């Protein structure tokens, strides 16, 4: 069967009902500079078999992260995901379920979300966590907007160590939601005086730990400085496995934690979908975006689960909702929960220790390469190298030699030439010492 599009008569009738003269009028809010005036350079239509062959040929040009030694990071990390995770999430009741609009009839979904919330609260050191967010970047923007609501202020101070995607996402929300952000410049070699930027209009200070460049810090003093001025401390965690080894944000005095949970239970998957984590203090729970699952008992005294808080615009709050997070990344959250349950506390801590050990070994090997300088005095499983030439070209040369060497900082900060020689390198439990030796040897060849 062919797909039969609308006829011109049907199009005119539909436009008349809408009240616009042409289809182009529906896109009047899109700047003309963003319009494409010429057809895309694509081949003519083909049959399904021909399309599959063409796409397979294109895909064969990629170097999959699992096919060669890979040291990629910068916010998305390759960890081992047990086969049990994939087996359980493919059960029909999980794979086909959506957000529980009638929550009391989806006890299984509510139970695993309750367990998920418990796990997130425990590892972050916070009182309460929600039923997940889309990803770490949107969770960060939501954290700032929550801080604005709590403090009734509209100015956020953003660390230069926050991931650039998170910075951009927060700035986009600021533009449309009407609050301001003061962003410190990214600098892997210097400490920031964030406390000096806090004033009586500041709603929050946003930091990342470990930061974008891999540096690990204790933000306890910054938390105290923020609280003294009536502001909140938002701590962002890119690599959630780090919380098995690093002091959790809650113990540093964080008021809100926004994190990316991809490292637990979720593969790289071309950069998404992933799962955002969000935790806060009990006293701020009614300003928390998303949803909160709670535990209760039924009329017969049996344990059950309910949707305790759901101040979303699709429910009763409409425009007064705390956010427009319309669902949770349920399947990814379930994968996180299964993997974390398999690890347990001992396994989670052991995984973190293994990651740090591998990164320490790799850092020593790469720092010994002539011309390479390790910029970090402390890190978890990711660090920054200063190379004697632009990192982007070095990475491309190493790809040709069968090594995914890391992420050049210039890829994420193309407008900052002073960062062009910097390379972000991550090591996880997957990397063997043979991988590391190959990386070091080939890096020396390329340099």
Segment among 59-63, 116-120, 340-344 with least mean pLDDT = 59-63
Average pLDDT over residues 32-57: 89
Helix or strand holding residue 226 (H, E): helix 220-228
Over 90: is that where the pLDDT of 108 sits? no
- Between 395 and 327, where is the model more confident? 395
Domain boundary among 340, 375, 399: 340
For the segment 120-143, what is each residue's pLDDT rounded down to a tens digit? 999 999 999 999 999 999 999 999
Do 367 and 398 have their domain in common? yes
Do 92 and 234 have their domain in common? yes
Do 426 and 394 have their domain in common? yes
356 vs 38: CA distance, rounded Å: 51
Do 328 and 400 have their domain in common? no
Domain boundary among 311, 340, 369: 340
**pLDDT computed for residue 318 by the predictor:** 63
**pLDDT computed for residue 320 by the predictor:** 72
For the segment 152-202, what is each residue's pLDDT rounded down to a tens digit? 999 999 999 999 999 999 999 999 999 999 999 999 987 899 999 999 999
pLDDT band, residue 95 (cuts 50/70/90): confident
Over 90: is that where the pLDDT of 222 sits? yes
For the segment 261-278, what is each residue's pLDDT rounded down to a tens digit? 999 999 998 888 999 999
Buried b (16+ CB within 10 A) or exposed e, 374-383: bbbeebbbbb
- The DSSP symbol for 419 reads G
Degrees, nearest 5: CA angle 256-384-122:
30
Do 92 and 184 have their domain in common? yes
Over 60: is that where the pLDDT of 316 sits? no
Q: Answer whether residue 56 is part of any domain.
A: no
**pLDDT computed for residue 315 by the predictor:** 59
Over 90: is that where the pLDDT of 38 sits? no
Do 166 and 199 have their domain in common? yes
Tell me the C-alpha to C-alpha distance, in Å, between residue 225 and each of 184, 229, 233, 443.
17, 7, 9, 43
**CATH number, domain with residue 123:** 3.40.640.10
* Percentage of residues in the chain having pLDDT higher than 70: 95
Q: Which residues contact 416 (CB under 8 A, 6 or more apart)?
A: 186, 409, 410
Evaluated on CA atoms 262, 207, 292, 253, the torsion sign reads: positive
Do 158 and 280 have their domain in common? yes
When divided into structural domains, the chain yields a total of 2
For the segment 383-410, what is each residue's pLDDT rounded down to a tens digit? 999 999 999 999 999 999 999 999 999 9
Q: Answer whether residue 382 is part of any domain.
A: yes
Q: Answer whether residue 333 is part of any domain.
A: yes
Q: Answer whether residue 250 is part of any domain.
A: yes
Buried b (16+ CB within 10 A) or exposed e, 275-295: bbbbbbbeebeebbbbbbbee
Contacts 24+ apart (CB under 8 A), 291-299: 291/130, 291/131, 291/328, 292/117, 292/128, 292/130, 292/131, 293/103, 293/110, 293/113, 293/114, 293/117, 293/131, 294/114, 295/114
**pLDDT computed for residue 2 by the predictor:** 61
**pLDDT computed for residue 240 by the predictor:** 98
Domain boundary among 277, 307, 340: 340
Do 241 and 270 have their domain in common? yes
Do 105 and 127 have their domain in common? yes
85 vs 332: CA distance, rounded Å: 10
Across the strands, what pairs with 232? 204
Q: Are 307 and 105 in contact (CB under 8 A)?
A: no
**pLDDT computed for residue 96 by the predictor:** 74
**pLDDT computed for residue 255 by the predictor:** 98
Over 80: is that where the pLDDT of 248 sits? yes
Q: Answer whether residue 160 is part of any domain.
A: yes
Report DSSP letters for 90-138, one per residue. Answer: TSHHHHS----SSGGG-HHHHHHHHHHHHHHHHHHT-SEE-S-BS-HHH
User: Residue 21 is encoded by which pair of tokens?
Assistant: 């003269």
**pLDDT computed for residue 401 by the predictor:** 97
Over 70: is that where the pLDDT of 311 sits? no
Do 333 and 378 have their domain in common? no
Helix or strand holding residue 400 (H, E): helix 391-400
Over 60: is that where the pLDDT of 145 sits? yes
**CATH number, domain with residue 375:** 3.90.1150.10
372 vs 396: CA distance, rounded Å: 17
pLDDT band, residue 305 (cuts 50/70/90): very high
pTM exceeding 0.85? yes
**pLDDT computed for residue 312 by the predictor:** 58
Q: Answer whether residue 148 is part of any domain.
A: yes
**pLDDT computed for residue 21 by the predictor:** 94
Q: Are 221 and 237 in contact (CB under 8 A)?
A: no
What domain range includes position 160?
A: 83-340
Tokens 């944000």 sit at which residue? 249
Residue 269 burial (C-beta neighbours within 10 Å; 0-12, 13-18, 19+): exposed
């Amino acid at each position: 069967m062919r797909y039969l599009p609308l006829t011109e008569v049907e199009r005119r009738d539909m436009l008349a009902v809408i009240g616009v003269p042409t289809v182009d009028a529906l896109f009047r809010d899109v700047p003309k500079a963003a319009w494409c005036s010429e057809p895309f350079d694509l081949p003519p239509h083909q049959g399904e078999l021909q399309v599959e062959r063409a796409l397979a040929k294109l895909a064969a040009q990629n170097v999959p992260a699992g096919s060669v030694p890979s040291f990629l990071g910068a916010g998305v990390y390759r960890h081992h995901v047990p086969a049990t995770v994939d087996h359980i999430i493919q059960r029909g009741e999980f794979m086909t379920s959506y957000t529980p609009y009638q929550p009391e009839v989806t006890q299984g979904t509510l139970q695993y979300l309750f367990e998920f919330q418990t796990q997130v609260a425990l590892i972050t050191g916070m009182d309460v966590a929600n039923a997940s967010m889309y990803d770490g970047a949107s969770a960060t923007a939501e954290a700032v907007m929550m801080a604005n609501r709590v403090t009734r202020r509209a100015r956020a101070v953003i660390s230069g160590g926050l991931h650039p995607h998170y910075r951009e996402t927060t700035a986009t929300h600021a533009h449309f939601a009407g609050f301001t952000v003061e962003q410190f410049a990214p600098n892997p070699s210097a400490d920031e005086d964030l406390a000096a930027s806090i004033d009586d209009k500041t709603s929050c200070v946003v930091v990342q730990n470990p930061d974008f460049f891999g540096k690990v810090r204790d933000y306890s003093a910054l938390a105290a400085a923020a609280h003294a001025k009536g502001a909140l401390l938002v701590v962002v965690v890119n690599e959630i496995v780090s919380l098995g080894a690093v002091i959790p944000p809650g113990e540093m005095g964080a008021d809100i934690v926004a994190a990316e949970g991809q490292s637990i239970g979720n593969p790289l998957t071309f950069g998404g979908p992933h799962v955002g984590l969000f935790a806060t203090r009990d006293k701020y729970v009614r300003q928390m975006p998303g949803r909160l699952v709670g535990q209760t008992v039924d009329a017969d005294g049996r344990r059950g689960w309910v949707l305790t808080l759901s101040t979303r615009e699709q429910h009763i709050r409409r425009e007064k909702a705390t956010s427009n997070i319309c669902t949770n990344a349920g399947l990814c959250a379930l994968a996180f929960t299964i993997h974390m349950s398999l690890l347990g506390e001992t396994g989670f801590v052991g995984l973190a220790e293994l990651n740090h050990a591998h990164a320490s070994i790799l850092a020593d090997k790469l720092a010994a390469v002539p011309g390479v300088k390790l910029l970090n005095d402390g890190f978890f499983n990711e660090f920054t190298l200063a190379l004697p030439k632009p990192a982007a070209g070095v990475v491309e040369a190493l790809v040709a030699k069968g090594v995914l060497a890391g992420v050049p900082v210039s890829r994420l900060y193309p407008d900052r030439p002073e960062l062009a020689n910097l390379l972000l390198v991550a090591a996880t439990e997957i990397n063997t010492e043979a991988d590391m030796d190959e990386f070091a040897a080939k890096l020396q060849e390329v340099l």
